[in-house]
Amino acid sequence: MGTVTLGVSIAVPEPHGSRLQRCRLGFGDAAAAGIPTHVTLLPPTEVDPDDRPAIEDHLAAIAAAGRPFPMRLCGTGTFRPLSPVVFVRVVEGAAACGWLQERVRDPAGPLARELLFPYHPHVTVAHGIAEEAMDRASAELAGYEAAWEVAGFALYEQDAAGVWALRREFRFAAPASRAPAGPGTAAPLLDPAPRVA
């Protein structure tokens, strides 16, 4: 029966998402046409289609335990030379993203997997393109800022053409003002020195 490729991420809302996607396309990253602007919680992962119900139950339970939290993007960073990526930095909400991605990849759950690099939340704006275009992306978005409240996350599926489609959204059950714990707890500013993920 084969496998399907799934990912879990926090969508960057409008108008920010479309703007960053247009920028990414403008830098020459054609793959951006099929990739909604996002902060990754689970990178592309192959799973058995029969595991979908368990996966969705797992993600629903994580959302039920979470609460909304503030997200702020500011400036750019890069994973070069280890990985050909330029990104917009997550400067608020990083700890919350870390809390979520650890639970998504819980070793006892249906999406258990190791990462190639330590987790580092970010929004990719250039990937695998010419160095000059990567430099332009880094410079042109150096002053970029956006902020919003994250109300949940989503499950995406990649098709044979590499296009990612939304499959299901998972909203946090508890309002930010009442939940005593969860992913929004103590989300400090991220160290400006980029780490690879």
What's the pLDDT tens digit per position in 88-123? 999 999 999 999 999 999 999 999 999 988 999 999
Instruction: Report residue 37 as tokens.
Output: 């602007």
Give the start-end residues of each E strand in 59-185: 69-78, 85-92, 122-127, 145-150, 152-158, 164-171
Q: How confident is the model at residue 192 (pLDDT cuts 50, 70, 90)?
A: very low
Yes or no: say if 121 and 40 are a contact pair by the CB < 8 Å rule: yes
Q: Given this model, what pLDDT does residue 176 score?
A: 56
CA dihedral sign, ordered 17, 18, 19, 22 = positive
State mean pLDDT over 143-152.
98
Q: What residue spans define the domains of the chain? A: 4-171
Say yes or no to pLDDT of 165 above 70: yes
User: Helix, strand, coil shares of the chain as percentages rounded to 5?
Assistant: 25, 30, 40
Q: Tokens standing for 160?
A: 């044979």
> How high is the pLDDT of residue 194?
31
> For residue 165, how many other CB atoms are within 10 A of its CB?
10
CATH of 4-171, one of 3.40.190.10, 3.40.50.300, 3.90.1140.10, 3.40.50.1700: 3.90.1140.10
